[in-house]
Amino acid sequence: MAVRRCMNCMKEFSVPEGYENQYLSCPHCGFVEGTPPKEPFHLYPGTLLQDRYLVGVVIGCGGFGITYKAWDIEFGVVVAIKEYFPAGLVSREPGQQKLNVYEGSRKNEFYQGLDRFLEEARRTAQFEHSKYIVQVKNFFQENNTAYIVMEYLDGGSLKEFLRNNPVLPVEDAISITDSVLGALKELHKEGILHRDIGPGNIFLSGRSIKIIDFGAARLSDETKEVTRSIVLTPGFAPPEQYQTKSKQGPWTDIYAVAATLYDMVTGKKPCESTDRLMDDMLLDPNRVNPQVPEYLSNAIMKGMAVNPEMRFRTVEEFSDAIHNNTKVLSPKEELKKRKKKRLLLIAAISCIVLAGIGVAAIGFISSYRKSHLRSATVRMWVPYDDEWTDRETAEAHYQSIFQTFSEKNPDVVLEMECIAESEYLGKLESAKQAGTLPDVFLTRVLDSDLLSEAETLENVYNDVELQNTENYYFLNQYRGNAGEAAEKALPTGINVPIVYCRFADTADSEMISKTRSASITDLGQMNSEESLGYFVSAKDYSMLINTFGGSYRYNDKLVLDDTASGLVTEMGKSNFKAEAPAASVTSDNAAYGKALDGIIAKAVGEGKIDYYVGDMRDLNRFESMAGMYVPRPVNADKIVLEFCDYWYINRKVRDDKDVQRAAEELLVYVMMEDAQHAMHMEGYRDAVPIRRAAFENVDTEDSNLSFVKDYMLKAEFLYENQAKEKEYSINLQRGVIIDKKDLREWLEEQ
């Protein structure tokens, strides 16, 4: 009687005579043989690697890798195999093993990541005898990628356990923490930081507790700032991990362990460390859970101090504190103690040197005033895309952007309010009418109606940072052509058209071949008989139509020339027919556009559209789809781009020169390289930074932006009221594309 091995539980079972050529259900776990993987780009169960490892079902999948359960034929044991599969850089045709790496600069990024992946394996392998760290048994390259073979841990992560047991007894929480600290002692002894300790990377397997996932691990450097990639788990990462350049050491991992212990004993995930920099509202653990003893509460809060200097320096110090072997003050009490000592020291020094201060002191004060802004409170409004992110994440993102500004200008208080885009423009308009606009505010597109309330930016443009216009894309062109807008609204980004082509279709190999090297030269190209069709986002009509040679300008009324009219008519012929939003939102253009976006997003997620014509703001959405769509350029003699992310200063700041100066310095700051990079290239990418270096220094590593450099060589811009133009575009899309009205008839109605 034949015997087979189940690709789910890895147990053997007998095959009755006559059923050798049929798929059967495993009698142990019920898994049906021949079941395809959940995603077409996963390796199929039964795949053999290195003529030794029999791949089973997927047990984990992230942005950079896929982890499979597998059987080691040589040793006869179950193992876990992690495959390097960076979403957005590669694809795999269903049923195949070899990866297809995208061309251009994305290939460079893939192989750089591959080196880091293998380095992760080497780092972890040196701890093969540790009882606290997952064991790496082998690693190798195959199928145009790499694999790490690890011990298979039967159990689940602490994160999964806490879902059903949100608050752990103090003794259990300390026991788990002891195992994590045991692992960190071994790592730190070798000069390695884990940098991503959190409930998701702590694995509970029977009585064994091990840390996993060394993808973020880096060598420790305690004496100088080192540039590192930003990989972290929100809520469990200290402020220094949000910076590409920072001093990191054992105290960096200690913050994460303390935050994890906080989560275990309170049942509350800690708020972002960057939020705490602005306003530390985190409650002490014993205030959330009275069962937590004061010594442990103090130890946790000291371990989570936002100032690295206030944290424990070694895991041994932290371990002693959580076991009550040493007395620890809370960070607040420690600060009081330090301030008292400092005041006594200052008083003593003052008595000694008072007579010798004289002119030197006056010179110091004068120098300070020249290099620091005076005391001021600046109210600032910024929007966030509430379709793709939440307020908490947006606030953390913006606070990380302005962290350096706040550090360099400690007397300036930034009162920043993040407002959902769905209500942002309405709130701005209401504030304009009421005369309560904030001191500084940001809009995604130019809204000419706000210019009457804005201060001129002469002082901003005269700053030495902006005097060298060669440092910026097209800033001179903007100032020379945008009229009043250039005087009062400062663009910090550039938006570009992008066509997202469906890539990972399970059967359409011709489509895969086309999108691998395609550029879009006309709309008809996207609507062949075989194509599912395309959809053009209304927000990008102007860029697309003008790029293809049409005139699509708005003054007091809608104007389309014959070419533009032809292009709009062509859009209505797409094989993809968008469903109209519910009647309940048809009375308002903004609500209609938002509802339609939701419908299209669902269709895109289900792979019902071959091409989506959008812009750089859509990049994050498509990257989250793990290779289903690939971004491709629009190819034309000219590429019409648009400035975006405009900053304004309220003209009422003239009443307070300190606030005015701080607001102007703030706008200078957002044009600097680090701020531009943080604003547009880290985390949520939505525009090309207008500061050249902020983009050019990274685009060779960013596969999705490789063709944008070519755009810059043939770029043209339109200067108009973008807010009104976008509103008209939604109206046009609604009337002609969705409701199928005749274009000329619709134009006459406007």
Buried b (16+ CB within 10 A) or exposed e, 628-655: bbbbbbbbbeebbbbbbbbbbbbbbbee
CA–CA dist 321, 302 (Å, integer): 10
CA–CA dist 397, 433 (Å, integer): 30
pLDDT at 719: 80
pLDDT at 244: 60
pLDDT at 363: 36
Residues 193-201: what's their mean pLDDT? 89
Predicted confidence (pLDDT) per residue in 468-494, tens digit: 888 999 999 999 888 899 999 999 999
CA–CA dist 92, 336 (Å, integer): 59
393-396: list long-range contacts, CB under 8 Å, 24+ apart.
393/234, 394/418, 395/272, 395/275, 396/234, 396/242, 396/272, 396/274, 396/275
Residues 232-247: what's their mean pLDDT? 79
pLDDT surpasses 70 at 238: yes
CA–CA dist 360, 355 (Å, integer): 11
Question: Are 624 and 387 a contacting pair, CB within 8 Å?
Answer: no
- Higher-confidence residue of 347 and 61: namely 61
Task: Report the SS3 class of residue 465.
Answer: helix
pLDDT at 380: 97
Residues 197-222: what's their mean pLDDT? 75
Residues 122-142: what's their mean pLDDT? 88
pLDDT surpasses 50 at 56: yes
DSSP-assigned letter for residue 393: H
Both tokens of 504, joined, read 């990972």
- Higher-confidence residue of 53 and 360: namely 53
pLDDT at 236: 92
Closest by Cα among 497, 490, 480, 474 to 612: 497
- Higher-confidence residue of 351 and 676: namely 676
> Comparing 24-38, 108-122, 696-710, which segment has the lowest mean pLDDT?
696-710
Question: Are 27 and 10 a contacting pair, CB within 8 Å?
Answer: no
Both tokens of 41, joined, read 């780009």
DSSP-assigned letter for residue 704: G
Question: Are 532 and 502 a contacting pair, CB within 8 Å?
Answer: yes
CA–CA dist 732, 741 (Å, integer): 10
- Higher-confidence residue of 117 and 178: namely 178
pLDDT at 74: 94
DSSP 166-229: -S--HHHHHHHHHHHHHHHHHHHHTTEE----SGGGEEEETTEEEE---TT-EE-EEEEEEE--
pLDDT surpasses 60 at 54: yes
CA neighbours closer than 13 Å in the CB half-sphere of residue 340: 6
pLDDT surpasses 50 at 514: no
pLDDT surpasses 90 at 516: no
pLDDT at 453: 95
- Residue 409's alpha-carbon distances to 243, 372, 378, 399, 521, in angstroms, are 18, 6, 12, 14, 49
CA–CA dist 351, 42 (Å, integer): 73
Torsion of CA 26, 49, 97, 625, to 10 degrees: 70
Closest by Cα among 535, 477, 496, 538 to 638: 496
pLDDT surpasses 70 at 297: yes
Based on DSSP, count helices (H) and strands (E) in the chain, helices before strands.
28, 30
pLDDT band at 230 (very low <50, low <70, confident <90, very high): low
Q: Quick one: which H or E segment has residue 643?
A: strand 639-649
Residues 623-645: what's their mean pLDDT? 82
Q: What is the percentage of the chain residues whose pLDDT exceeds 90? A: 43
Residues 90-102: what's their mean pLDDT? 92
pLDDT surpasses 90 at 531: no
pLDDT at 221: 43
pLDDT surpasses 60 at 369: no
Residues 172-191: what's their mean pLDDT? 92
Question: Are 257 and 184 a contacting pair, CB within 8 Å?
Answer: yes
pLDDT at 193: 87
Residues 95-106: what's their mean pLDDT? 87
Question: Are 495 and 685 a contacting pair, CB within 8 Å?
Answer: no
Residues 307-318: what's their mean pLDDT? 91
CA–CA dist 220, 193 (Å, integer): 6
Q: Quick one: which H or E segment has residue 535?
A: strand 534-536
Question: Are 523 and 572 a contacting pair, CB within 8 Å?
Answer: no
pLDDT at 702: 46
pLDDT surpasses 80 at 213: no
Closest by Cα among 405, 402, 493 to 692: 493
pLDDT at 215: 59
Sign of the alpha-carbon dihedral angle for 656, 658, 661, 664:
negative
CA–CA dist 277, 257 (Å, integer): 19
pLDDT surpasses 60 at 41: yes
pLDDT surpasses 60 at 665: yes
- Higher-confidence residue of 745 and 459: namely 459
> Comparing 228-237, 332-341, 559-568, 585-594, which segment has the lowest mean pLDDT?
332-341
pLDDT band at 51 (very low <50, low <70, confident <90, very high): very high
pLDDT surpasses 90 at 705: no
Which range of 95-109, 159-173, 514-528 scores highest in mean pLDDT? It is 159-173
Mean pLDDT of the chain: 84
Residues 25-41: what's their mean pLDDT? 92
Which range of 357-361, 548-552, 679-683 scores highest in mean pLDDT? It is 548-552
pLDDT band at 302 (very low <50, low <70, confident <90, very high): very high
pLDDT surpasses 90 at 243: no
> Comparing 425-429, 560-564, 592-596, 696-700, which segment has the lowest mean pLDDT?
696-700
pLDDT band at 367 (very low <50, low <70, confident <90, very high): very low
Residues 433-462: what's their mean pLDDT? 94
DSSP-assigned letter for residue 73: T
Predicted confidence (pLDDT) per residue in 574-626, tens digit: 988 888 887 766 667 777 887 888 888 888 878 888 899 999 888 877 766 65
Predicted confidence (pLDDT) per residue in 376-405, tens digit: 999 999 998 876 677 888 888 888 899 889
pLDDT at 581: 85
Q: In sequence order, what are the residues at sequence separation of 6 or more whose Cβ sits closer than 8 angstroms to the Cβ of residue 289?
A: 167, 265, 266, 267
pLDDT surpasses 70 at 627: no
- Residue 127's alpha-carbon distances to 185, 210, 649, in angstroms, are 12, 12, 56
pTM of the model: 0.53
3-state DSSP helix/strand/coil % of the chain, to nearest 5 = 45, 20, 35
Question: Are 486 and 474 a contacting pair, CB within 8 Å?
Answer: no
pLDDT surpasses 90 at 629: no
CA–CA dist 126, 134 (Å, integer): 11
Q: In sequence order, what are the residues at sequence separation of 6 or more whose Cβ sits closer than 8 angstroms to the Cβ of residue 411?
A: 372, 373, 374, 375, 376
pLDDT at 400: 86
Which range of 218-232, 344-358, 426-440 scores highest in mean pLDDT? It is 426-440
Location of structure tokens 């989506």? 612
CA–CA dist 176, 171 (Å, integer): 9
